[in-house]
Structures are given as C-alpha cells and as structure tokens.
C-alpha cells in the first residue's frame, strides 16, 4: 500500500482530475450534433448493458456542483474535453452558439474557483457527418480538425492553461479501426493504417492553427504501454519489439522525430496513404 499526501510532493506539483465530454456531459439537444459514439453505443452488443452517453452524469447541467467538488477536493486543475459536435454540429460549417456559451461558462467557472483549465480538443466523439465522409480515414480530416482548432483558440485559448489536440491517438486509430473495440468499430487494417497517419497529421495541423491564435502550452496525450518479451526466445523478443513500435514508437517517433518505426512502415506500407512521408514535417510540429 502507498501512503502519501500533498506534503510529499513539490509545491509546484499540479494535482488534477480528468473527464471526457461524451462520458459525462449528457445534454443531448441544445444544438449538439450526433457523434460516432452515439451510433456505436446504440448498436446492441457494443457496450455492456447497452449503456450510452445520452444522459451520462448530466455534467451539462450540473457543472457548477461538479466544479465545486473538484475545488473542495483540494485539486488544482481540471482536464476536460470539448465536444466537437456540440460546437460544430456537422463537423464543419455552422457554429452552435449554445455550445460556445456552455464552454464559456465552464471555463469561467474553473477560473473563478482557481482551477487551471486543461483542455482536450478531441476525446473520441467525432461528428457523425464526418464519419460518413470517411472520418479518420479521409485525409481531409486534417483540414476539418484545424478549422475546429481555430475555433477553440479564438473562443477560449486565452483562458486555457494547457491544450492537447488528441486524446490517446492509438485508441482513435488502432483500437477503433482494427480491433473494433471503440467507435466506429472497424476491423480493417487499411482503415487503421490510414487513421494512424491521419490522426497525427491532424494533430500537426491543429498545432499550427492553435499557435496562430496565440494559444500556448500545446501538446498531445499519448497512452504508452510497456512492451517486453515474455521470454528470451527470438519470437518473443520480436513480439516485444513489435508491440513497443505499435503502442509507443509510432506516436512518439512521429510527433517528436517526424519518423515512424521502420518495423511498422514495412508492415503497413500497402495500406498507408500515398506519399505520407511528405506530411511528416507537419506531424512533428514543435510542441
């Protein structure tokens, strides 16, 4: 058992809590468009008990009480995500002012309680209309996402302590497009390969868009996994290397070095977008 308290950490250590829009907001209607998780969770067999995010814990209405709980718990920061379909219901085009007003209230409420707003632009709730157009398999998503990022930067950027573009791109791409566990629930290696590249390309275009609005302290949230061989056999060593490249190397190498692991590019070469190498300068925009 661990036993520690705040005194065991430096005075500048930030304690926070985190949520995601689809997982807590509820607030269907109010101008919000549908997202891929609305469709996925409504499909029998995809989610235990058939649970959906339609109501969730109604953070949309209960946010003042929720922020009070965070403050009273002694935390310094709240990491939340914007819902793309709440702000731009069709994914591109018209802006939903009700959505803008909601996040205005939420962010101002954090600041009033001395909570640092840590924002995420995308936590898996892709607008359904964009999925119909190919979603993360479509190269155009980098432009759609950059336009969305511009909106975030212009409306909220000056009040955000830190801003992440994508939450866990491995989940966005591989878990969702090859393993089929998350929305949109595909099991297709070509779809996964294209999504693996496009999600990082979109991250880079969003960094450019946010920086152009003056938004600072930018990044991306990666879910890294320890991957080591089960034994000293050559087969297990190779499996450990492959797992490390798939979970970690693709995203760290792309974002920080502008280079994907050769082990994976050889495997995915037939499925990756044509001339993907030309995008790597954007993928690896400085953070």
* Averaged pLDDT, 52-71: 98
Secondary structure (DSSP) of 142-188: HHHHHHHHHHHHHHHGGG-SEEEEEE-HHIIIIIHHTS-SSTT----
Q: In the beta sheet, which residues pair with residue 80?
A: 119
Q: Is the pLDDT of residue 6 over 90?
A: no
The pLDDT value given to residue 3: 83
CB 128 within 8 A of CB 36: yes
CA distance 37 to 54: 10
pLDDT of residue 132: 99
Is the full-model pTM beyond 0.85?
yes
Query: Which residue ranges form the domains of the chain, and what is each CATH number?
Result: 15-229 (3.20.20.80)
Please report, rounded to a whole number, the percentage of residues in the chain having pLDDT higher than 90. 97
The band of 135, judged by pLDDT with boundaries at 50, 70 and 90, is very high
Higher-confidence residue of 5 and 66: namely: 66
Give the pLDDT of residue 7: 86
pLDDT at 1 over 90: no
Residue 287 has what pLDDT? 96
Give the tens place of pLDDT for each residue, 29-43: 999 999 999 999 999
Pick from 234, 254, 257, 235: which is nearest to 246 by CA?
254
**Structure confidence at residue 231 as a pLDDT band (50, 70, 90):** very high
């Amino acid at each position: 058992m661990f036993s520690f308290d705040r005194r065991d950490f430096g005075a500048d250590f930030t304690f926070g809590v985190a949520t995601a829009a689809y997982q807590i907001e509820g607030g269907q209607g109010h101008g919000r468009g549908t997202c891929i998780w609305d469709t996925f969770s409504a499909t029998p067999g995809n989610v235990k008990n058939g649970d959906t995010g339609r109501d969730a814990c109604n953070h949309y209405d209960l946010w003042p009480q929720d922020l009070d709980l965070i403050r009273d718990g002694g935390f310094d920061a709240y990491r939340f995500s914007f819902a793309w379909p709440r702000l731009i219901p069709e994914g591109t085009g018209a802006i939903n002012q009700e959505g803008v007003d909601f996040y205005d209230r939420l962010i101002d409420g954090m600041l009033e309680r001395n909570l640092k707003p840590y924002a995420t632009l995308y936590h898996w709730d892709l607008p359904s209309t964009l999925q119909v157009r190919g979603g993360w398999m479509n190269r155009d998503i980098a432009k759609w996402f950059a336009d969305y990022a511009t909106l975030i930067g212009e409306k909220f950027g000056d009040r955000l302590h830190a801003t992440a573009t994508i939450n866990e791109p491995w989940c966005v791409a591989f878990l969702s497009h090859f393993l089929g566990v998350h929305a949109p629930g595909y099991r297709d290696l070509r779809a996964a390969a294209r999504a693996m590249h496009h999600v990082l390309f979109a991250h880079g275009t969003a960094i450019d868009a946010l920086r152009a609005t003056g938004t600072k302290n930018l990044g991306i949230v990666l879910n890294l996994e320890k991957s080591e061989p089960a034994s000293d056999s050559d087969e297990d060593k190779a499996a450990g290397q492959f797992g490390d490249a798939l979970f970690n190397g693709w995203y760290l190498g792309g974002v920080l070095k502008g280079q994907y692991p050769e082990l994976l590019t050889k495997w995915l070469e037939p499925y990756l977008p044509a001339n993907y190498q030309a995008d790597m300068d954007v993928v690896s925009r400085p953070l």
